[in-house]
């Protein structure tokens, strides 16, 4: 049973009603943006102390998503009708490599405010995978089957510094959740820069909120 809290939005009083009504008619209301974030402090600290840079940036991303209301909106089918809902919190779903030829399994990590608690829970989940068969898309499929999309998918491409990403869509009118890809961090003008791509439904979120998302990710990474 899902213990998360979701609120069904009253479209008649919702501040985003006009934007949602406009974009919901599009064949593809999905927008994909790729921008670089500075990650010098977090990257260097991980190299120096042997800590996980990956865990640092997925935490920073998840915390930023949870602090921006517009990234917690979802479109869900409730009793045969599409509804906009707002979740109280969003969990992380991320692929974990299990083989040498790209095999992976997906894990779901609940949101915790502190980095220490988040990584502790994530470590326990990863440790529990030992001896298990890979389940590439189980977490996403399970959420969809239960009608709850209180998650954000963050995929890592640590060997590729990309400049853009085109995301897949889970249905004809866009994805029911934001999709995020993170690429390889490289040195540019004395700073480590990392590409982060996010795909989102324009009826639920605007560039203003995405700009804030990127600022927050940088800010939280600097604290790690």
Q: Are 34 and 206 a contacting pair, CB within 8 Å?
A: no
Fold of 6-222: Chloramphenicol Acetyltransferase (3.30.559)
Among the residue ranges 6-10, 92-96, 144-148, the one predicted with the least confidence is: 144-148
Residue 1 pLDDT grade (very low, low, confident, very high; cuts 50, 70, 90): very low
Collect all residues with Cβ–Cβ distance below 8 Å to 92 and sequence separation of at least 6: 58, 61, 62, 108, 109, 110, 111, 151, 152, 154
- pLDDT above 80: residue 147: no
Domain range summary for the chain, segments of one domain joined by +: 6-222
pLDDT in tens, 51-77: 999 999 999 999 999 999 999 999 988
pLDDT in tens, 41-55: 999 999 999 999 999
Q: Give the relative orientation of helices 40-49 and 207-222 as an angle to the nearest 10 degrees.
A: 40
Written as six digits, the tokens of 8 are: 């069904």
First-to-final CA distance of the chain: 34
C-alpha to C-alpha distance for 97 and 181, rounded to whole angstroms: 15
Element (H, E) at 25: none
Query: What pLDDT does residue 143 have?
Result: 67
Q: Are 125 and 103 a contacting pair, CB within 8 Å?
A: no
- pLDDT above 80: residue 79: yes
C-alpha to C-alpha distance for 19 and 145, rounded to whole angstroms: 28
Residue 80 pLDDT grade (very low, low, confident, very high; cuts 50, 70, 90): confident
For the entire predicted model, the pTM comes to: 0.92
pLDDT averaged over the chain? 90
The whole-number average pLDDT for the span 145-160 is 87
Which whole-number Å values give the CA distances from 8 to 17, 77, 170, 203, in the listed order? 13, 11, 21, 16
| Planar angle of CA 141, 146, 151, nearest 5 degrees | 60
- pLDDT above 80: residue 175: no
């Amino acid at each position: 049973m899902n213990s998360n809290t979701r609120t069904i939005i009253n479209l008649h009083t919702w501040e985003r009603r006009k934007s949602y009504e406009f974009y919901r008619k599009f064949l593809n209301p999905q927008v994909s943006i790729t921008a670089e974030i500075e990650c010098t402090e977090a990257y260097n600290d991980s190299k120096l102390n042997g800590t996980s840079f990956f865990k640092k940036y997925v935490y920073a991303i998840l915390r930023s998503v949870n602090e921006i209301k517009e990234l917690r909106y979802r479109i869900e089918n409730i009793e045969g009708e599409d509804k906009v809902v707002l979740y109280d919190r969003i969990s992380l779903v991320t692929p974990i490599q299990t083989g040498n030829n790209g095999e992976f399994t997906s894990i779901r990590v609940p949101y915790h405010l502190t980095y220490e608690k988040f990584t502790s829970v994530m470590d326990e989940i990863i440790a529990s995978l030992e001896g298990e068969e890979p389940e590439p898309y189980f977490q996403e499929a399970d959420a969809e089957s239960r009608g709850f999309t209180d998650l954000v998918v963050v995929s890592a491409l640590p060997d590729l510094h990309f400049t853009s990403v085109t995301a897949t869509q889970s249905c004809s009118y866009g994805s029911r959740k934001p999709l995020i890809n993170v690429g390889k961090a490289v040195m540019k003008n004395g700073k480590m820069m990392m590409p982060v791509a996010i795909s989102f439904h324009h009826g639920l979120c605007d560039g203003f909120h995405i700009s804030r998302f990127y600022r927050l990710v940088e800010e939280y990474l600097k604290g790690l």
